[in-house]
Amino acid sequence: MDAVDTTMEKLRAQCLSRGASGIQGLARFFRRMDRDRSRSLDAGELQRGLAELGLVLDTAEAQGVCRRWDRDSSETLDLEEFLRALRPPMSQVREAVITAAFAKLDRSGNGVVTVDDLRGVYSGRAHPRVRSGEWTEEEVLRRFLDNFDSSEKDGQVTLAEFQDYYSGVSASVDTDEEFVAMMTSAWQL
C-alpha cells in the first residue's frame, strides 16, 4: 500500500466514523465548494475543505491525492473519481442484488435503462405533479432516471452508473443482509 492508499484509508475511516452521511456529506460539501463547476479541486482547496470538516491532511498528503486523481495534468483532482475511491468496496452479494435490480429495469436487455424501459416497469401517473398537471408522466420517469445517471444527464443509465449510485448507498449500510433486504423491498425483487 502506497502513501496515497494509506491517506485514502485514513479519510475513508474518518468519513465512515460519521455514519451514513459521512461520504455523502463530503460529496455535497465538495460540490458546494466547486464554485466554478469544474468538478475538480486543487491540493489547497482539498486540504482547506477537509480541514473545515475536521478531516486533516498535511500538504504532501493533499498533493498526493490530487496527483492520483488528476485526469488532465491540471494539478487538480477529479471530484467524482475521488469520491468514488473513498467508498468502501462492495461485497459480491451486494453487487449481485444491484445487478438483479438493474436487470429488472432494463426491459430491452441492451445494458442501458431508458425512460422507455421504465415505462414497462413503473407508472408515473399517480405522482402528485402528474395528477396536478404540472408534469407529464414522461417528466416523472426522466427525473427518476436522472437519480441514477452520471453527472452528464443523457437519459440513459448503464449498469456501471447504477452500480456507482448504489455503491454510495452501500457505504452507509452496515451489513449485507440489511442492504439486500433494502434492495429487495425497494425494487420488488
**182/178 Cα distance (integer angstroms):** 6
The string of DSSP letters for 4-21 reads HHHHHHHHHHHHHTTGGG
Q: DSSP alpha helices (H): ranges in the chain? A: 3-16, 22-33, 43-52, 59-68, 79-86, 92-105, 115-119, 128-131, 137-146, 159-170, 176-187
What pLDDT band is residue 119 in, cutting at 50, 70 and 90?
A: confident
Higher pLDDT, 95 or 64: 95
Q: Please give the span between the terminal C-alpha atoms of the chain, in angstroms, as a whole number.
A: 39
Higher pLDDT, 99 or 165: 99
Q: Look at residue 110 in the predicted model and tell me its pLDDT.
A: 95
Mean pLDDT, rounded, for 22-41: 74
Q: Look at residue 19 in the predicted model and tell me its pLDDT.
A: 60
Q: Look at residue 176 in the predicted model and tell me its pLDDT.
A: 94
Mean pLDDT, rounded, for 84-104: 89
Lowest mean pLDDT: which of 19-23, 66-70, 74-78, 162-166? 19-23
Q: Which three cell numbers stand for residue 38?
A: 469544474
Higher pLDDT, 55 or 44: 44
* Average pLDDT of the chain, as a whole number: 83
Backbone angles phi, psi at 139, to 5 degrees: -65, -40
Confidence check: pLDDT of 95 > 90: yes
What pLDDT band is residue 102 in, cutting at 50, 70 and 90?
A: very high
Residue pair 7/55 in contact (Cβ under 8 Å)? The answer is no
**Side-chain-facing half-sphere of 74: CA atoms under 13 Å:** 11
Higher pLDDT, 131 or 16: 131
Confidence check: pLDDT of 20 > 60: no
- How far is CA 43 from each of CA 2, 36, 61, 97, 156, rounded to the nearest angstrom? 18, 16, 9, 37, 33
